[in-house]
Amino acid sequence: MLRKALLLASPLLSLGACPFGGEQGVLPDGHPAVAQETYAAALGDLDLDLVRSDLKALFLNSQDHWPADLGNYAPFFVRLTWHCTGTYRSSDGRGGCEGGRQRFEPERSWADNTNLDKARALLWPVKARYGDAISWGDLMVLAGTTAIESMGGPVLGFCAGRLDDKDGSESIELGPSEEQEAVAPCVLNGTCVSPLGSTTVGLIYVNPEGPMGNPIPAESALQVRDSFGRMGMNDSETVALIGGGHAFGKVHGACPAGAGPSPKEDPLNPYPGLCGTGKGKDTFTSGFEGPWTTTPNQWSNLYFNDLLNNDWEVHVGPGGHHQWRIPNATGPMAGIMRLTTDISLLHDPAGIYQKIVKEFAADPAKFDNAFANAWYKLASRDMGPALRCLGQVAAPPFPWHPSLPARSSEFPPAWPQVKASLKEMARGYSTPIFPADVFSGQSYYGGLFLQLAWRCASTFRQTDYRGGCNGARIRFSPEKDWPANAEFVGVLKVLDDVKARFGDALSWSDLIILAGTVAVEEAGGLPMSFCGGRTDATDGSGSELLTPRLSPGPGTDLAFLVDGMKVMGVTRREFVALVGGGHTLGQMHASRSGFISGPWTSSPSRFNNEYFTNLLTEVYQEVSVQSGEKKYKALGKELFMFKTDLFLKADPEFRIHVEEFALDNQAFLESYRAAWTKLVRSDRFDDPTGKLCEKDPVEEVAAASEVQAGKSKMGLSIAEVNLSESEDSDSQSSMFTSRMGMWMMTVCVTLGFLWACVSQLRRLNFLWAPERGGLSEPMLDA
């Protein structure tokens, strides 16, 4: 009914594009261009062998607009794939080829990606043939992997399932950008350190000419180890990738004139080449010139044998850069070259690279195995758990994959009983093992339960699908030793009784998330669905890279707060709701916050929007604490805030949500429920779409018992039954609300003032509610 009214009011209005539509309508920046819900199915129907055949035909079809070296494009596509996947860095999980962002700024204009626009153009006919059945990210990785195979190289398989982004916004922090400088500054480009992955912004790893352009192999070896290490590669993998990648193709630097303007500088004619014709023998890409081996279109370990069995001297090549050659060489050997980074493998101060080079030169099979494994890791590590891979994948999962044991055979436990036990413990219960907070004379664990679950879940990184509470690694080092987690060892002891009561049927990870969920519901939050089935890790491995990015410590500033939010994969609105909810229940504790204990609100055992009203109305003064952290106390009141809390008020893009939630408790409760459900399910996968909880039959709806029978008539699914109490109005009030809402919506559409009307429409409970399955029409059937 309402949909028809809206369409009649404005034929041009897209219901999905309403500004209050949340996740509907115009896709936000970075949202996959290929729908998550459909890509897995489309890819499953795709004949990848047919795609490979098309790629192999493309490799041998040299075209005049960009001729292939020696008639074969395969080495060109190895470079394309390497430079797409090689952007990954382990510090924050950013980079990699998922998203296919090499097509966009800033990556497409990096110096290391010069002329790769031609490689993507050559791929377009293949992409056009298969359309959305294969993403750009998958196609670019498949192209390089197939290229290696076509030249006789070893491959383990192909992990498909990358979802394309619609822009390059997820690469902004890779640089160069203001955002990168804020969270990962580089004082002198060429000497960049972690958290950046490369030593030089705009290059994939290091300067191949040597540190700061100086051809000093021993110093270059140190940079090679450092940079590859930041990207998760050990010494053997590093040498295998360099030798395997450089078994193919050549570098291009026909003259010193350069490649010409980048796509950012001249999008209509990028990299025209300023040497002669600019293509073929006149190509300028990196400024170096020549092949690494005498068989650049064929797999071999010649790279290592030639490196060991010849002397090498530095000289300035035709492109004007330092490179290395064999002195007085004749015949085919006179044409091969090495970069300073290649020569560095013979000058490792630690002596490790030299040993590996000799092993690979003497044992081709060992090299084959090492390269195949390292290439698969290079191409797949940004995909997260192995179960996200589709297509022909290597099995079993490798140690570098984040993985968990199988679900217990005793699963599931009796969820209503688990929930009842947690509810009893949340309020009015305390144990000497770890005493509860006391508010208004009543013991209260609810805040600690919620903070435990929040800390456990907020380790999730949507950048590379690591972290989250699945596995409950917060029980082990390093997570349990993080300062922000100091008290949770005690909270886990409180939960021991519940865990013991239900045994192996109940995992720690399910227990932690359900405890936080129950704490919110018990304190007045909206009923929330719960998706069980998490399993427990046996140790803390996998958490080494997940050091908290949202810690309220003294070094945290607004840029790091925003960066942590992005890595976690939540929007600003979701983040404000989550932080506000987490700081609504319970209090700060001296053991964590430095000789200050106290709540954020005057009702720390009630879940409401007081946190936001306090944030906007109270005057907070800085309080010095011995730990060095900054805490803030409300003037004349025993209410406290972290510095990170005050950022939500100070930053205008956060503040708009703070203001909305301060004015509208229902908006906060609904937003929190949606954000919490999203966060705690973010680490649940069964394919790249990450929709396990929508498909898994073990879902337990925690609020089902609280839903009135009449609501089932509204056509809601079991996961959508958690509606607010405001929908239980009598029929006359509901009909009035419906008519009033339709009238206001028509006026808003007609006048174009949709945003101005959002607040009033929300008060009428007349908004697009994605979590409810569509537009809310309160009791129209009453």
Active site members: 83
Q: Tokens at residue 562, please?
A: 């925003």
Tokens of 81: 């794939």
In sequence order, which ranges of 347-466 are alpha helices (DSSP H)?
352-362, 364-380, 415-426, 446-457
**Spatial separation of the C-alpha atoms in residues 595 and 638, rounded to whole Å:** 14
What one-character-per-residue DSSP string does 737-778 give? Answer: HHHHHHHHHHHHHHHT-HHHHHHHHHHTT-SEEGGGTEE--T
- Whether the Cβ atoms of residue 397 and residue 386 lie closer than 8 Å to each other: yes
As a whole number of angstroms, the distance between CA 534 and CA 543 comes to 17
Between the alpha carbon of residue 283 and those of residues 119, 198, 257, 431, the distances in Å are 14, 25, 11, 74
Task: Check residue 392 and report its DSSP letter.
Answer: S
DSSP 422-453: HHHHHBS---TTSPPEEETTEEE-HHHHHHHH
Q: For residue 548, give the nearest of 471, 649, 474, 632 by alpha carbon.
A: 474
Q: DSSP H helical segments within 467-526, as ranges?
A: 488-502, 508-522
Asked whether the beta carbons of 247 and 281 are under 8 A apart, the reply is no
Residues 6+ apart with CB under 8 A from 446: 426, 427, 519, 522, 523, 585, 586, 605
The DSSP symbol for 640 reads: E
Name the DSSP letter for residue 486. Answer: T
- State how far Cα 495 lies from the chain centre: 31
List, in order, residues 6 or more apart from 414 with CB less than 8 Å away.
502
369 CB-near residues (< 8 Å, 6+ apart): 154
Does residue 423 contact residue 703 with C-beta atoms inside 8 Å? Answer: no
Q: Could you tell me the CA-to-CA distances from 270 to 197, 261, 529 in Å, in that order?
A: 26, 6, 52
The CA-based dihedral angle spanning residues 282, 284, 289, 290, taken in that order and rounded to the nearest 10 degrees = -60
Q: How far is 327 from 318, CA to CA, in rounded Å?
A: 16
